[in-house]
Amino acid sequence: MHIVVCTKHTPDSEAKMSVDEAGNVSWGESPLIINPWDEYAVEEALILRDEHGGTVTVVSVGAEAALEALKHAVAMGCDEAVRVWDDACAGADTLATSYVLAKTVEKIGDVDLLLFGKSAIDAETWQTGSAVARRLGWPALMYTIKIAELDPDGKRIVVERLLEQGRQVVSAPLPAVVGTTKGINEPRYTSFMGIRKAAKMAYPLWTLQDVGAEADKVGAAGSGVRWPEVAMPPAREGEAEIIAGETVEESAAILVDKLLAEKVI
């Protein structure tokens, strides 16, 4: 079985974000890490490989900083890694990124399963996995919390996926796109041996030509969405009003009156 995991790098979730007067976004001293949601996808790929045999390839469309995400995935246990980049890919929305990823998957060729994290913690669109599935014409099994059955020979997968009202059980043919979510597994920590392997590994760079992508369909030119303005949210006005009655009961009664006055209860 050939499993491909798509990943990207993001600032750490604790990063203090800021925007300067020119509109440039900064995450300060915070490190770039693998998108935390992608760790669930990598872990699931490794579990499935160890159960069914095969290879796990991790893919990222990104400039050199994307190596951070690829290295982490290899340190966790992925077998191969591919980075795809061309300066023309800069400024892409999910329409353009999904095009490059779909082309990359087609170039890899023998893919049975394509895994994604639920979303990326930077732009948080949740869109790329669904868009790639649509481009490839593969089933999209987003928000999967459990792979109930996987039959590589019979080319079928059954998953439980999270919707607002509960879990939908879906059966689909392979190849398929699976979007993972928290709860599907507990991502492993990287081992010393894994980190050494990741440090020694070669990370091939594929160009647009390598994957057969047309330059006018990538990056800003291939995107539908533009984001001309990024700003800090307005600061909340005022401090919390600390309610300190003589007794707990008095504090509780004062708070209830405040909430009634706010018309929120």
Partner 1 sequence: MSNDIFTWVEQFKGEPAAVSWEAIGAARELADELGGSVVACVFGGEGVEKLAQEAISYGADTVLLAEDATLADFRVEPQAALLASVVREAEPSAVVIGATFRGRELGPALAVDLGTGCIADCIALELADGQVVATRPIYAGKLLCKCVVPDRRPQILTTRARAFAKPEPDPARSGEVKQVEPVLAEDDILCQVTGFEAAGGSVSLADAGIIVSGGRGVGGPEGFEPVRELAETLGAALGASRAAVDAGWMPYAHQVGQTGKTVGPDLYVAAGISGAIQHQAGMRTSKVIVAVNKDPEAPIFKLAHYGIVGDLFKVVPALNAALKEKLG
Considering the complex, state which of residue 109 and residue 233 has its C-beta at the smaller distance from partner 1.
233
Beta strands at 176-180 and 140-151: parallel, antiparallel or unpaired: parallel
User: Exposed, middle or buried: residue 208 (CB in 10 Å: 0-12, 13-18, 19+)?
Assistant: buried
Least Cα distance to 180 among 47, 63, 2 occurs for 47
Considering the complex, state which of residue 169 and residue 205 has its C-beta at the smaller distance from partner 1.
169
Give the shortest CB-241-to-partner 1 separation in angstroms: 5
Give the shortest CB-197-to-partner 1 separation in angstroms: 28
Considering the complex, state which of residue 55 and residue 251 has its C-beta at the smaller distance from partner 1.
251
Considering the complex, state which of residue 109 and residue 224 has its C-beta at the smaller distance from partner 1.
224
* Residue written as token pair 């353009």: 96
* Residue written as token pair 């999967």: 144
Give the shortest CB-202-to-partner 1 separation in angstroms: 32
Give the shortest CB-252-to-partner 1 separation in angstroms: 4
Which residues on neighbouring strands pair with residue 16, listed in sequence order? none
Least Cα distance to 35 among 152, 129, 155, 172 occurs for 129
Considering the complex, state which of residue 13 and residue 207 has its C-beta at the smaller distance from partner 1.
13
Least Cα distance to 135 among 222, 44, 204 occurs for 222
Give the shortest CB-203-to-partner 1 separation in angstroms: 27
CB 103 within 8 A of CB 114: no
Give the shortest CB-7-to-partner 1 separation in angstroms: 16
Considering the complex, state which of residue 19 and residue 90 has its C-beta at the smaller distance from partner 1.
19
Identity of residue 185: N
How far apart are the C-alpha atoms of 14 and 31, rounded to whole Å? 10
